[in-house]
Structure 1
Amino acid sequence: MTVSSDDGGESDRLAPVIPLFGGGARPVRQPAEAPVRSRDETPRSAIRENDESRDGRAERDASQRWHTTWTRDSARGPGGGGSSDAPVALHPAATRERDRDASTAGDDDVRGRAERMLLRKLRTRSLSIREARAALRDADVDGDVAEQIIEAFEQNGYLDDARLAEQLLDGALGRKAQGATAIAQTLARRGLDRDVIDIAMASLPDDEAERAGEFARQRARGMSGLDRDVALRRLHGQLARRGFSGPVALDAARRALDEASD
């Protein structure tokens, strides 16, 4: 109801409306905008949580960048699940490095076995360089590795063709009583180079006739019961097989038989 001044009221004024059932629409409140705070106004706990979150993301990013050569995610599946014992997928560069290291270790192991094998043979008798190379070849040692071993053994004095030639000469001139031809054949059979053989033969003393005569006298003592021609033929053959030349061997056999018959 409206009361006007004409009706005696004081002023035009609307009476308050009172809801009968306590309902009615409530005014919609607009959400207040959150005030923008500076870092100084932000609570310390919120700053610390933001910093820790940022640091955690940085660590995860750095971890992902660091492990560039391997990943377990591919082994666990797209969701990252699966067993932690799943095999690691290597980066191609890491695979090549691993294979190269394994190959180097394998080569070192092969070389070690080859060196020990060669040392065992050298404890039994001296070897020429050619004989040592043949032994390594028979053991299926790679050519490059074999040459490295040969070079190392030469530098350490385990292989020395010149010294081997001297040893063979001493044996030929001593207990074996061999002539020049047999000595040269022995040196060649042991794989010595032609230059080494020539130097060794040049050092032979000029006493082949004396050595042939000494050998013939020792053998003639056991032929006293044989016919002379038979004994001469046998003794001459023995001297020839010892490497004494034809004329030297024949002359030594005759002299030894003559001395044995007196």
Structure 2
Amino acid sequence: MSSTDETAAPGTPQEQTLERLRAAVARAQAGEPIQGGQGAPSAPSGPPPPETPDDDADPRAVARAVVLRALTGSPKSRAELERTLRRKGCPDDVAAEVLDRMEHVGLVDDEAYAQMFVRSKRTGRGLARRALQHELRAKGVDDETASGVLAQIGVDDERDVARELVAKKLRSMHGLERVVQTRRLAGMLARKGYSSEISRQVIAESLDALPEHQRD
């Protein structure tokens, strides 16, 4: 068996370190600070309490474990990971160091995250650039990165998606007056971030094509 095998006999320094790290990760997930014994509340006067097995866990190792666990669930922006580490009580300098390393090895990449996010939201919800910019900002993606990704969406692309949204919505609006259909469609597109110009054009074209609105 390899000397680095994690199944080594209990009590080896390696196993003790692994157990401390596991305990520290569990403590972090429970909402306790990632401090590695530093910055904890002052102990009362008198003899110090016995040291718990995970008090000397490396806060950087714990922070890395928390980040990796967060990324396993779904991709995250750097700002989201910073907020997660802050909630766990991770010192800002440790969080910055760990996240810098994660960026260096490609595990944290806001541009790749933004591209994935945009594809998902356009496919699933049909969001336009304006709404996507707002949501990326809320996720902590800086405006320069977001703008670079969103620049790949052309006006024709937005118009095509808007047509699909309108066509789908119209299936449940048969028989309504044109003014009512127009108002509801415009509201739907506005909530998804489409400009008034695209909305007017797409709605007019779509309604004109309906048999119920064609002149005899």
Give TM-score scaled by structure 1 length: 0.56
| Higher Cα Rg, which structure | 1
Distance 1:192 1:219 in 2: 31
Cα drift, residue 108 of structure 1? 4.2
How far does the alpha carbon of each residue in 1:217-250 deviate from its partner, in whole angstroms, 9 at most, with x for none?
A: 1111110132221121111100111111012112
Determine whether 1:131 maps to 2:80.
Answer: yes
How far does the alpha carbon of each residue in 1:139-176 deviate from its partner, in whole angstroms, 9 at most, with x for none?
A: 10011111111112112211101101111222233232
Percent sequence identity over aligned pairs: 28
Corresponding letter in the other structure for 2:195 = S
Determine whether 1:236 maps to 2:186.
Answer: yes
- The number of equivalent residue pairs is 159
What is aligned with 1:213? 163
Higher relative contact order (CA 8 A, sep 6+): 2
Distance 1:107 1:181 in 2: 48
Q: Matches of residues 145-160 of structure 1 in structure 2 within 5 Å?
A: 145-160=94-109
Aligned mate of 1:201, from 125, 144, 150: 150
What is aligned with 1:51? none
Distance 1:142 1:107 in 2: 15
Distance 1:199 1:240 in 2: 23
Which SS does the other structure have where 1:224 is aligned?
Answer: coil
Corresponding letter in the other structure for 2:190 = A
Which SS does the other structure have where 1:197 is aligned?
Answer: helix
CA contact (8 A) 1:179 1:244 kept: yes
Q: Matches of residues 68-79 of structure 1 in structure 2 within 5 Å?
A: none
Q: Matches of residues 20-99 of structure 1 in structure 2 within 5 Å?
A: none
Corresponding letter in the other structure for 2:79 = R
C-alpha RMSD over aligned residues: 2.0
Corresponding letter in the other structure for 2:74 = R
Which SS does the other structure have where 1:222 is aligned?
Answer: coil
Distance 2:73 2:175 in 1: 42
Flag the 1:232–1:216 CA change in 2: closer, same or farther, 3 A.
same
CA contact (8 A) 1:217 1:260 kept: no
Determine whether 1:168 maps to 2:123.
Answer: no
Structure 1 unpaired stretches of 5+ = 1-101
Structure 2 unpaired stretches of 5+ = 1-50
Cα drift, residue 255 of structure 1? 2.3
Give TM-score scaled by structure 2 length: 0.67
